[in-house]
Structure 1
Amino acid sequence: MGLYARWMFAWETALTTRDENRIERPLEWGFDHLADFGGLELAQRVERGELTSFDAMVELNQRIVANPHSFFDYVTPTDFRVEMRHPELFPTNVRPETLEAEREWHRRAEAGELRREPFLRFTSPVRTPYPENDLVNARWYPENPPKPGSAKKPKQAMIVMPQWNADAFSHNALCEIFQKFGVASLRLSKPYHDIRRPEELERSDYAVSANIGRTIAACRQAVADIRACIDWLSAQGYEQFGVLGTSLGSCYGFVAAAMDPRIRVCTFNHASTWFGDVVYTGQSTRHIRAALDHAGLTQDTTRELFTGISPMSYMTEFAAAKRRTLIIHATYDLTFLHEFSLDVLRNFDAHHVSYEHKELPCGHYVTGEFPYKYMDGWWMGSFVWREFRKLTREALEAAETAPAAPVTSRMTRS
C-alpha cells in the first residue's frame, strides 16, 4: 500500500476501535421475532429434530425472498401526530466529551434555552417486544415557503436515515439544506436508535446483532416505518418522495424503495449487496463476527442467514420502477468493503438501473471527518436538489400536455 492508503486505513481503524462499549453477545436464532412469518412453526420443527436451526433460518429467508411483499407490506398506522419536543442527543458512546455534550443539551433544555421542534410520532406497523422501540420518531423539517411569484411545483419530501448507532443529531444538517431547496424532510430514527433504544442498551445493538431473527425483524420494521412516513406525507399533500440512507440506513432505504414505487429519488451513502457479507467482514461488526465464529458460521453461511434483508435479493424489484439513484462509496472502507460497493454497481448495470456514483477517497467512518464530510454532503445535497428539479419539470410538462377534461352540459326538456 502507498503512504496515503496506510494513513487512511490507520485513521479508519482508530475511529472504529475508539468506542469500548461494543458487546459480544452469543448467537441466538430469534425465531420468536418472526413468529407471524413461520418463525414459531420452524422453531417447533427444530425442536422435533426435523431441521437444524441453521437450515430453518435459511428456509425462512428463502420464504421472504420468494414473497417479499407478504413480509414487508404493512397496515398504515392511524395514530399519526406531530409533537413539539426539545431535541436530545441520545449518544451511543461513553466518551467523556460526548457525555458532556449530552449533559449540556439537557441543561439548555431545562433552562429554557432550547426551542421545541416538531417530531412525527406514530405506532410502528411492525411490533416488537420493546414498547419504546415501537413508537416511531421522525424529526419534521417542513420546506421553506416558496418565494412570492415563484412557479407552483409539486410538494416534495425526503425520508432521511443516518448510519447504525447514529445519535439523534446525525444528518440533521442535510435536512436543513433540503428545507432551503424547498424539499421537506423526515429525519427518521431507525429501530432501536436514539429515543427508540431500550433502556438496557448503551448502543443500538438490537438493530444488528448475533440474534438473527431480531436483526431481520428490525429491517422489516424500518421498511414499514419508512413507507408509513410516506403515507403521512401523502395525506399532507406531498406528491414526490425520496429516500436518503447512510450505511445501515442505505440498506433499509433500498429495500423500502424496492417495495414501494412511490420512492422516486434514492441516495445510498455507502452500499453493499449482501447484508451477511458486511456483518461478517466489517471492522465495526467484529464483535458480532466473534459470536458467529464461536458458533461455527462462515462468511458464506452468514450470507445465507440474511438473504431476506439483503439488497441483492431485491435488485429486480428495485429496477422495475423508474427512479433516480446516487451511490456513494469509499475507496478505503473497512466496514462496507470496496469490493462489495463495486458489486452494487455491477448489479445495477446488469439490471439496467439508471444511477450516478461517486467515490470518496477515504474510509467508512472517516466520511464523517473534515474534509470528506463536506464532499459527501455536497454530492448528496446537489443530487437531491437536481433530481427533484427534474421531477418538477416533468410534472409541469405533463400537466401542460394533458388533454383538457371534456365539457359537459345538462339539457332540460321543456
Structure 2
Amino acid sequence: MLSRLYAKWMFSWETALTTRDTNRIVRPLEWGFDWLKDFSPLANLSTDYADDLQRMTAINDVIVNHSEEFFGYDTPTDFRLETRHPQLFPTNVRPETLAQDAELKRKAEEGELEEAEFLRFTSPIRTRYPENDIVNARWYPAPELTDKQKAKQGRRPKQAIIVMPQWNADAFSHNALCTLFNRFGISALRLSKPYHDIRRPAELERSDYAVSANVGRTIEACRQAVVDIRSCLDWLESQGYEQFGVLGTSLGSCYAFIAAAHDSRLKVCAFNHASTWFGDVVWTGQSTRHIREAFQQAGLTQDLVRQIFTGISPMSYMQRFAASPKRVLVIHATYDLTFLREFSLDVLANFDQYGVDYVSKVLPCGHYTTGETPYKYMDGWYMGSFVYQAFKRLAEQQQAIP
C-alpha cells in the first residue's frame, strides 16, 4: 500500500517537473540530409531511394558500420584558455530562473563574482552556427600536491574527468561535482554540449537543436559532441594528464558512452541515467513529447524512430564499448518517466552479456526529481564515491608497474 502511494506521488511530482516549462516547441519533421552530406553520399537527394525514411535508415546503417570514420577527427590546433565571468544561460523562462540570471549579471558588473577559466577551441565538426562551433569547457584543475603529499603518495599519475550535464542544462549544472572531484586530486572539464549555454544560437531559448525533429541535425549534434570529448582528451594529454574518465547525465550519458566506445583512453565512465536506443527515449520520454508529436504527425512509429537514430544509439556500439577495459557506473531511477526503467535495465543486461566491469546504483525517484532534495545528494554520493574509487584503483595499478 505504501509503495503504491509513494509511486503515485513520485510520478505526480515527476510529471509536474517535466511540464512546468512552457517554451517547448513542436517543430515539423525535417529529415536533415544536408547535415550529413559531408559523411555519406547517400544523403545526396539525387541517389535512388524509395523514400526519405529508407534513405535515412540506410545512412544510419553506414554510420554504424563506419563509426570510426564518422566519429573520427583531426586534433584542433587552436586550444586556448580564456578567463571570464561565468554566466547562467538559462533554458526556461520561470521567474526564479530569470531572477538568478539577473543576480549573476549584477554581481559580475559590480565585481562581486569571481572569474573562471574556460577551455575554448574550434570543433573539428562544423555546423552552420559559428557560436556552436567554438567549444566551451569550464576548467577545474586539481590543486598541486604539496611536497609532503608527494612524499606520502609517491608518484601519482595526473588524472582528469570530462563532465557532460543533461539536455537543456544551464551553465552552472554539475559544477559542484567538478569541485568535488578536485578534492580527490582529479581535474575536471565541464563540457558544454553542442547548442548549449554559450554555444546556443541566439534564436533559441532552449537547446532544441541538440535533439529535435530534424533527424540529420540531431545525429550531427551527437557526432560533434563525441568529437569534442575526444578533442578535450587531446588537450588534457598535452597538459601532461595520463588517466581519463567521463561522466554524463541523461543525453550527456549517451554522448559519453559513444565517446568511450570509440576512445580507449577513457577508463572511468559514469552514466547518470542510461538507455540503449536513442529513438526509444525520444518516443517514450516525457521531456521529448513535443518531438514525438512531430514524428506522429509525419506518420512515424516507435520502431521507425528507433531505426532513424540507430547511428547515435549506445546499443549500436555495445560490443565496441566492451572491447577495452574500463570501470563503469550506471545509475538509474525507479520512477523515471524520461529514461524508462526498462531501458536502463536493458543496458545492465547487455553489460552482463559482454562482461563489462560495472557498478549499478538505483535512485528511488524519477529523472527530473534526481535534481531535487534529498535525491540529488544520493546521486552525488554515488557518482563522487565511484569516481574517487575508480581513479584510485587506476593510480594504484600504474604505481604497481615497475
TM-score bracket for this pair, using the shorter chain length: over 0.9
Aligned partners of 2:243 and 2:265 also within 8 Å = yes
> Counterpart of 2:75 in 1: which secondary structure?
coil
Partner of 2:10: 8
Aligned partners of 1:124 and 1:221 also within 8 Å = yes
Aligned partners of 2:88 and 2:172 also within 8 Å = yes
Aligned partners of 2:43 and 2:55 also within 8 Å = no
Report the residue type matching 1:5 in the other structure: A
Aligned partners of 1:31 and 1:39 also within 8 Å = no
Give a deviation string over 1:20-65, Cα, whole Å, max 9, x none. 000000000001111111256442226xxx3300000000000001
Output the CA distance in 1 between the equivalents of 2:323 and 2:202.
Answer: 41
Aligned partners of 2:42 and 2:59 also within 8 Å = no
Report the residue type matching 2:329 in the other structure: L
Partner of 1:222: 225
Output the CA distance in 2 between the equivalents of 1:41 and 1:107.
Answer: 48
Residue 25 of structure 2: which of 23, 26, 36 is its match?
23
- Structure-1-length-normalised TM-score: 0.95
Report the residue type matching 1:258 in the other structure: A
Unaligned runs of 5+ residues in structure 2 are: none
Give a deviation string over 1:213-257, Cα, whole Å, max 9, x none. 000000000000000000000000000000000000000000000
Identity percentage of aligned residues: 68
Report the residue type matching 2:12 in the other structure: A
Output the CA distance in 2 between the equivalents of 1:124 and 1:108.
Answer: 31
- Structure-2-length-normalised TM-score: 0.97
> Counterpart of 2:400 in 1: which secondary structure?
helix
Partner of 1:282: 285
2:243 counterpart of 1:244: no
Aligned partners of 1:329 and 1:358 also within 8 Å = yes
2:146 counterpart of 1:147: yes
Residue 162 of structure 1: which of 162, 165, 168 is its match?
165
> Counterpart of 2:161 in 1: which secondary structure?
strand
Give a deviation string over 1:86-144, Cα, whole Å, max 9, x none. 00000000001100110111111111111111000000010000000000000000002
Residue 186 of structure 2: which of 183, 193, 209 is its match?
183
Residue 44 of structure 1: which of 31, 43, 46 is its match?
46
Report the residue type matching 1:148 in the other structure: D
Output the CA distance in 2 between the equivalents of 1:391 and 1:239.
Answer: 10
Partner of 2:84: 85
Residue 346 of structure 1: which of 349, 370, 381 is its match?
349
2:205 counterpart of 1:202: yes
Output the CA distance in 2 between the equivalents of 1:387 and 1:339.
Answer: 27
Partner of 1:100: 99
Partner of 1:173: 176
Output the CA distance in 2 between the equivalents of 1:165 and 1:173.
Answer: 17
Output the CA distance in 1 between the equivalents of 2:140 and 2:147.
Answer: 21
> Counterpart of 1:392 in 2: which secondary structure?
helix
**Structure 1 runs (4+) greater than 4 angstroms displaced:** none
Which has the larger displacement, 146-155 or 385-394?
A: 146-155
Partner of 2:383: 380
Residue 259 of structure 1: which of 256, 259, 262 is its match?
262
> Counterpart of 2:157 in 1: which secondary structure?
coil
User: What root-mean-square deviation, in Å, do the aligned CA atoms of Structure 1 and Structure 2 show?
Assistant: 0.9
